């Protein structure tokens, strides 16, 4: 396990030093992590990276070389640096289950800890969760556009460095991809890996058919041939059919062809006719070439004859939305043994935070469809034997009453008093959980373009607390 203790912004450490000098570093505080907007103008976000967050917290320790480096900066007192030598996270962390589908402004991680500890972990927590959640969500959108066809993650060579390639592949699988070309990710996370050959394989041989025969000789049970090196319809597909017939005579079943360039709609349709006429109706056509959810959706609408999709650059970088804007905000601070709500006010209304020590519940109808989320103060209890009315936190006249419903509390303990309670799951199990979570959403929330906005409301008690605090601040 890598020690990422110094993977933080300098101001986290300077603030910690300041808290220490002011003797308030042990004050108990509560921070919420949340995001204000779904990525890619979508209707939801898949939370990903919880396993890596747990590893990070479990390995927090300032080593001697870390202390020596910090000392060389001439920014920190000796007493503070000595204090860091015994650093250990002792607080509580609650989070949603990895793979959960979440929405703007609701806490997805809640940290309650001594001030200096809660402050230190902010940057790395955001780094881990923001990136993996972004890629998992992008992958989910791509898979939704593919309408049940397998989507393969091909992005390693275009990822923003090795970590992005590795953990992006993990997130893509959780988001719904069937496999990845990333071998190290396959080893680390026990996820399916896929791949055939590149154009260089074809170019190395004197002829295209010679290259196909050589590949089929090495991998007779996994013959998937790249047919666009020279000319897809006049050369690539006819040569592939010749080799497929040779394999068939030997008792092998060819897998398919891959097309990586050109007019994918037209070429796939023509290739499908040629393969079907040759008796290879079951052979797959795999497409790649700078795909994303919009291109796939368009190709599907045009009736392209493509069975699976290799998606690289635009998935692993989420090129149209390269960052999830998750934030980490103070919402309560302990004073005289009592948690006192805190609020951040901004000229921008969407940046005003929800104060207090909170939890989140999801409201389901009797058909197990998610209807709304409700953010409450931690001591509130919902009696499901009674009707529940929720209202829009800004347009308060917008109300909805639930009569036959049940609720699920979303934040679960990862750490209590510094002790890790998290039970590891395989990536494929998390993927299955995500699939089930997405199936609880109505289709309008999953649309690629102009999705319906999912309801995230505040309890009456929390809404009143927030309103009163805003009014008090305005009067000062």
Q: State pLDDT tens for residues 147-191.
A: 999 999 999 999 999 999 999 999 999 999 999 999 999 999 999
Quick one: pLDDT band at residue 230, thresholds 50, 70, 90? very high
Per-residue exposure over 161-173, b if at least 16 CB sit within 10 Å of its own CB, e if not: eeebbbbbbbbbb
How far apart CA 302 and CA 316 sit, in angstroms, is: 26
Specify the fold of 196-288: TIM Barrel (3.20.20)
Tell me how far the alpha carbon of residue 235 is from its chain's centroid: 41
pTM for this predicted structure: 0.97
**DSSP reduced 3-state for 310:** strand
Among 12-21, 90-99, 391-400, name the one with the lowest average pLDDT: 391-400
Q: How large a percentage of the chain has pLDDT more than 70?
A: 99
pLDDT digits (tens, 9 = 90+) for 62-106: 999 999 999 999 999 999 999 999 999 999 999 999 999 999 999
Q: Determine the pLDDT at residue 394.
A: 87
Region(s) of the chain under CATH 3.20.20.70: 196-288
Residue 286: which of 197, 167, 217, 212 has the closest Cα?
197
Q: Is the confidence at residue 350, as pLDDT, over 90?
A: no
Q: Could you tell me if 48 and 108 are in contact, meaning their C-beta atoms sit under 8 angstroms apart?
A: no
The pairs formed by 437-440 with CB atoms below 8 angstroms and a separation of 24 or more are: 437/46, 437/99, 437/100, 437/101, 438/44, 438/101, 438/140, 440/101, 440/364, 440/368, 440/369, 440/370
CATH 3.30.60.50, applies to 10-135+322-347+411-452: no
Per-residue exposure over 216-246, b if at least 16 CB sit within 10 Å of its own CB, e if not: beeeeeebbbbbbbeebbebbbbbbbebbeb
- What mean pLDDT comes out for the span 120-132? 98
pLDDT digits (tens, 9 = 90+) for 284-302: 999 999 999 999 999 999 9
Region(s) of the chain under CATH 3.20.140.10: 10-135+322-347+411-452
How far apart CA 104 and CA 329 sit, in angstroms, is: 14
- CA angle at 178 for the pair 174 and 410, rounded to the nearest 5°: 20
The angle that helices 293-301 and 122-146 make with each other, rounded to 10 degrees, is 10
DSSP per-residue codes, 319-340: TTS----EEEEEEEEEETTEEE
């Amino acid at each position: 396990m890598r020690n990422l203790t110094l993977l933080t912004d300098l101001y986290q450490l300077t603030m910690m030093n300041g808290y220490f000098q002011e003797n308030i570093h042990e004050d108990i505080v509560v921070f919420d992590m949340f995001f204000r907007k779904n990525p890619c103008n979508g209707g939801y976000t898949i939370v990903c990276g919880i396993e890596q967050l747990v590893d990070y917290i479990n390995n927090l320790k300032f080593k001697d070389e870390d202390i020596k480096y910090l000392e060389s900066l001439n920014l920190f007192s000796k007493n503070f640096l000595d204090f860091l030598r015994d650093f250990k996270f002792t607080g509580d962390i609650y989070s949603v289950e990895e793979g959960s589908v979440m929405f703007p402004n609701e806490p997805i991680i809640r940290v309650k800890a001594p001030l200096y500890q809660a402050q230190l972990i902010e940057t790395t927590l955001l780094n881990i969760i923001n990136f993996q959640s972004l890629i998992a969500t992008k992958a989910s959108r791509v898979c939704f556009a593919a309408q049940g066809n397998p989507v393969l993650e091909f992005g390693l060579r275009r990822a923003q460095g090795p970590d992005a390639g590795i953990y992006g592949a993990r997130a893509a699988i959780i988001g719904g991809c069937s496999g990845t070309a990333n071998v190290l990710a396959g080893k680390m996370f026990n996820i399916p890996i896929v791949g055939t050959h590149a154009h260089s394989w074809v170019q190395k041989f004197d002829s295209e058919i010679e290259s196909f025969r050589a590949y089929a000789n090495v991998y007779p049970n996994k013959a998937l041939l790249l047919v666009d090196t020279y000319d897809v319809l006049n050369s690539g597909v006819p040569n592939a059919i010749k080799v497929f017939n040779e394999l068939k005579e030997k008792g092998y079943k060819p897998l398919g062809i891959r097309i990586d360039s050109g007019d994918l709609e037209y070429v796939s349709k023509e290739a499908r006719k040629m393969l079907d006429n040759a008796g290879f109706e079951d052979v797959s056509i795999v497409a790649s070439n700078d795909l994303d959810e919009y291109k796939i959706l368009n190709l599907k609408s045009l009736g392209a004859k493509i069975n699976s999709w290799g998606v690289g650059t635009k998935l692993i970088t989420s090129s149209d939305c390269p960052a999830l804007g998750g934030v980490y905000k103070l919402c309560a601070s302990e004073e005289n043994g009592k948690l006192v709500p805190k609020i951040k006010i901004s000229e921008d209304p969407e940046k005003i935070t929800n104060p207090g020590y909170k939890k989140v519940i999801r409201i389901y109808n009797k058909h197990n469809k998610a209807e709304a989320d409700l953010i409450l103060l931690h001591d509130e209890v919902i009696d499901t034997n009674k009707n529940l009315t929720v209202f829009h936190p800004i347009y308060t006249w917008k109300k909805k009453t639930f009569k036959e419903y049940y609720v699920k509390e979303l934040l679960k303990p990862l750490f209590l008093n510094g002790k890790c309670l998290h039970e590891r799951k395989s990536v494929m199990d998390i993927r299955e959980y995500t699939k089930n979570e997405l199936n609880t959403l109505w289709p309008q929330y999953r649309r690629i373009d102009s999705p319906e906005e999912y309801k995230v409301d505040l309890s009456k008690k929390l809404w009143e607390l927030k309103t009163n605090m805003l009014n008090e601040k305005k009067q000062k």
